[in-house]
Structure 1
Amino acid sequence: MAPNDSAQTTEEAEDLAAGRRKAARYIVPVAVAGVAAATIGLVPALAASGDPDLPKITAQQLIEKMAASETQQLSGTVKINTDLGLPLGGLAGLGGGSFGPKGGDAKGDGSSAAPESKLMELASGSHTLRVAADGPDRAKVSILENAAEYSLIHNGDEVWAYDSASNEAFHSKDAGTADGKDRTPPKDLPTTPKEFADEALKAADDTTSVTVGGTARVAGRDAYQLVIKPKQSGSTIGSIKIAVDAKNGVPLKFTLSSTSGGKAVIDAGFTKVDFSKPAASTFDFSPPKGAKVTEGDELEKGKGAKNHEDFKNHEDFKGPKDFKGSEDFKGLNVIGEGWTSIAKIEVPGGQGLSAPKGGDVPPEASKFLDALGDKVDGKFGSGTVFKTRLINALVTDDGTVYVGAVTKDTLVKAANEGK
């Protein structure tokens, strides 16, 4: 690769910041659990084609190119690989579902096709997706599995999700319906390089270095490499690379690397992409004969959400109001800024991982939890740090949690200064 010269004057730096803000207008809202965020080893397959020789471009110009892209039609195949270094199978078990037989209550209420749980599976392991889009009102994402397929389809004011493994479907109305209620299922994780890139650009502020790091070939397309790095020390994020189509400005590949080294924590990229208009039939869907169909309104009214209600009414946790502050989680404080921001949360009852009075936690369970983390001490007292390759959390023995994409030492320092 032949990196481009990205040295900038003060005036260019201000223009770059303005470009970031402009790019942010195109962000697809995504609720990233533990990341967001989140990406597959495409490099070996692509390296043989060589890096294209493209005209030089600055980081500011490349971000402006992304922001100005008018491409709204595409179809293709995306590969996502996520390696957060989580124990016990990663997040797949955690996100395995509040609904239906795969994670619902004993009665099997709800739907295994509900997007809230299904998309969480992308937070761990390798996945192949087929994606298609035709403007803001038509989109389809299909997760290809062994002898099965899960699809989420948005067509006008209709949203359908279908799980072929269980022959179950989920149906909801999109925002902007006659009654003004937004019933669009929440999207837990990004599913395309653009959505990953949009999330990363949110963090592009004065604590961030943004440069152009050469060129690449992705899915047969020439691309520039936008490189985003923290200027601060203490972050677990080493760098983010976004391969941007040299012709139309569409992100083709997203790679997030950790300061710990090794393979990428998140690597998502197109292996095939076509920017022509998808066939209208791509977004058509009718439930197959015999399929169980769950309406979004049913889950709103509590049908199939029994586990959620049971959790809210549990004697040890009555919902967000139990956190210091209010029902809006105002007890959550953010320490620091930029890439080393840390969330400080006061646990209800002021108790950490130690067994409560009455000995409800068996000694074996406490030892198991201790084995998953590192015991630490400081001015704050003592606690346990639970680590992944991206997100780390310090749980103090007196019931305070410090969590962020930062190193163990940074968490301990924040806890010491928080006393």
Structure 2
Amino acid sequence: MAPNDSVETDGEATGTVVGRRKAARYIVPFAVAGVAAATIGLVPALADSGDPELPDITAQELVEKIAASDQEQLSGTVKVSTDLGIPSFGGLADSLSQGAGQDAPGASPDARLMELASGTHTLRVAVDGPDKQRLSILGEGSEYSLVHNGDDVWGYDSESNEVYHSQATEHGSKGKAEERGRPEGMPATPKDLAEEALDAADGTTSVTVGGTAQVAGRDAYKLVIEPKRSGSTIGSVTVAVDASTGVPLKFTLAPSSGGKAVVDAGFTQVDFAKPAASSFSFTPPKGAEVTEADELKAKDKGPAAEGLGAVGGLKGLDVIGEGWNAVAEIKVPGGSGMPAPGSGDAPAQARQFLDAFGDKVTGDFGTGTVFRTRLVNALLTDDGTVYVGAVTKDALVKAADTAE
């Protein structure tokens, strides 16, 4: 078993391995939480089945092994379990869509991939380089597939026989996903996950090799990433890394509060051979309703979208703190906060919601309400400022006091 070697990021390059591009960087909470939510569809592994004997490796060497991995072809079955301690995102997305007057097609990836942020799901995945990926979410008697092949991205819902189509190259400017060779909205490969996580480095993280495991029948090292300081809702992130290829084979995000993992995702079966070309072929079935992405964009310019414009037009975004303890400060347009539970301005349903899910807090900043999940918490002050981060309630109050 590998020794429990460790490194701590201190902002300085201490050797040639640490000094290299992405390998000198370690994971911080917003990167972990964001990547887990946005790319969870292709994050690996599940059941451990023993602790194999492997050659010793240091944490620095294991990080370098992930960054140097050139494995771009794989296929397999993935099981994803997510427990943020909130109601199903799928139902929430439906409610928000209806409330906004939007009629998004059932095959739109924006809505369907959100389902992965809650509950347990079984997926089939196939990857052949940056231009060919396929993700299928298996349901009871139905299947949703998202296929990227060259310039085309197709989404297909077998239950409703609806199809979504977009051009991978139609976006005006490239985001991080497109810079890595995949279209925005398409789940990342395991290598993408590792590289995006390693991109976010600072001095608040310690990294250790936490032994070995066998995942999906393959020997792996366990990389354990933890915050140095208290105040984060994230207790640790464990990534099982394939000993042969350097591909991440397990991703587990444990909360600092204890209990079951917030995210536990991974391959139950994996094959690193080149997938069949037919895996990435798609033709809309006969009679299917096809929606083009540009049609949805045209609808987004209507009155309903204008009514939501204020949400997307938040100004004055600042970040307080760093790393695991970073808190985003957002000024709500108009400076109006949530009505207090005892306020006559608050509708009965709003007061019930605040009573059930919100904790009233006070500080140098004034008064406000904290809304909590197992991972991300938010403080909404009565004067209309939002503080949000993967931090505890006390850390949010402290950040708000610091900002005043």
Give the TM-score, by structure 1 length.
0.83
Q: Which letter does structure 2 place at the counterpart of 1:173?
A: Q
Q: Which residue of 1 aligns with 2:28?
A: none
Q: Which residue of 2 aligns with 1:18?
A: 19
List aligned pairs for 1:89-108, cutoff 5 A.
Answer: 89-96=87-94
Counterpart of 2:52 in 1: which secondary structure? coil
From 273, 278, 287, give the equivalent of 1:276: 273
Instruction: Quote how far apart the aligned CAs of 1:225 are.
Output: 0.6
State the alpha-carbon separation in 1 of the partners of residues 287 and 371 from structure 2: 45
From 344, 349, 366, give the equivalent of 2:351: 366
* Pair 265,42 (structure 1): closer, same or farther in 2 beyond 3 Å: same
Q: Which runs of 5+ in 1 are unaligned?
A: 325-330
Instruction: Quote how far apart the aligned CAs of 1:2 are.
Output: 5.5
State the alpha-carbon separation in 1 of the partners of residues 221 and 39 from structure 2: 22
State the alpha-carbon separation in 2 of the partners of residues 258 and 56 from structure 1: 29
From 245, 267, 291, give the equivalent of 1:248: 245
Counterpart of 2:223 in 1: which secondary structure? strand
State the alpha-carbon separation in 2 of the partners of residues 36 and 240 from structure 1: 16
State the alpha-carbon separation in 1 of the partners of residues 52 and 373 from structure 2: 36
* Pair 239,65 (structure 1): closer, same or farther in 2 beyond 3 Å: same
* Pair 42,148 (structure 1): closer, same or farther in 2 beyond 3 Å: same
Q: Does 1:378 align with 2:363?
A: yes
* Pair 9,156 (structure 1): closer, same or farther in 2 beyond 3 Å: closer
Q: Which letter does structure 1 place at the counterpart of 2:388?
A: V
Q: Which residue of 2 aligns with 1:296?
A: 293
Q: Does 1:229 align with 2:226?
A: yes
8 Å CA contact retained: 1:223, 1:246 = yes
List aligned pairs for 1:52-67, cutoff 5 A.
Answer: 52-67=52-67
List aligned pairs for 1:148-227, cutoff 5 A.
Answer: 148-175=142-169, 186-187=184-185, 190=187, 193-227=190-224
Counterpart of 2:386 in 1: which secondary structure? strand
Counterpart of 1:297 in 2: which secondary structure? helix
Q: Which residue of 2 aligns with 1:82?
A: 82
8 Å CA contact retained: 2:44, 2:267 = no
Q: Which residue of 1 aligns with 2:401?
A: 416
State the alpha-carbon separation in 1 of the partners of residues 44 and 168 from structure 2: 35
State the alpha-carbon separation in 2 of the partners of residues 300 and 31 from structure 1: 28
Q: Which letter does structure 2 place at the counterpart of 1:112?
A: G
Q: Which residue of 2 aligns with 1:393?
A: 378
Counterpart of 1:56 in 2: which secondary structure? coil
8 Å CA contact retained: 1:160, 1:171 = yes
* Pair 163,38 (structure 1): closer, same or farther in 2 beyond 3 Å: closer
From 258, 261, 275, give the equivalent of 1:261: 258
Q: Does 1:339 align with 2:339?
A: no
8 Å CA contact retained: 1:112, 1:118 = yes
Counterpart of 1:278 in 2: which secondary structure? coil
Q: Which letter does structure 1 place at the counterpart of 2:307?
A: N
Instruction: Quote how far apart the aligned CAs of 1:60 are.
Output: 1.4
* Pair 9,286 (structure 1): closer, same or farther in 2 beyond 3 Å: closer
Specify which structure has the bigger relative contact order, considering alpha-carbon pairs within 8 angstroms and separated by 6 or more residues. 2
* Pair 14,233 (structure 1): closer, same or farther in 2 beyond 3 Å: farther
From 119, 132, 152, give the equivalent of 1:138: 132
Instruction: Quote how far apart the aligned CAs of 1:68 are.
Output: 1.3
Instruction: Quote how far apart the aligned CAs of 1:173 are.
Output: 1.4
8 Å CA contact retained: 2:2, 2:57 = no
State the alpha-carbon separation in 1 of the partners of residues 44 and 280 from structure 2: 29
Q: Which letter does structure 2 place at the counterpart of 1:113?
A: A
Please give the per-residue CA displacement for 1:363-392, whole angstroms capped at 9, x wherever unaligned: 342232232111111111111111111000
State the alpha-carbon separation in 1 of the partners of residues 131 and 44 from structure 2: 31
Counterpart of 2:34 in 1: which secondary structure? coil
List aligned pairs for 1:344-359, cutoff 5 A.
Answer: 344-354=329-339
Q: Which letter does structure 1 place at the counterpart of 2:371?
A: F
State the alpha-carbon separation in 1 of the partners of residues 200 and 9 from structure 2: 21
Counterpart of 1:332 in 2: which secondary structure? strand
Q: Which runs of 5+ in 2 are unaligned?
A: 26-30
Counterpart of 1:93 in 2: which secondary structure? helix
* Pair 386,181 (structure 1): closer, same or farther in 2 beyond 3 Å: closer
* Pair 130,399 (structure 1): closer, same or farther in 2 beyond 3 Å: same
8 Å CA contact retained: 1:204, 1:210 = no
Please give the per-residue CA displacement for 1:275-328, whole angstroms capped at 9, x wherever unaligned: 0011111111111111101111211222xx47x7414236xx64544x34xxxx
Instruction: Quote how far apart the aligned CAs of 1:350 are.
Output: 1.7
Instruction: Quote how far apart the aligned CAs of 1:79 are.
Output: 0.7
8 Å CA contact retained: 1:352, 1:400 = yes
State the alpha-carbon separation in 1 of the partners of residues 349 and 130 from structure 2: 52
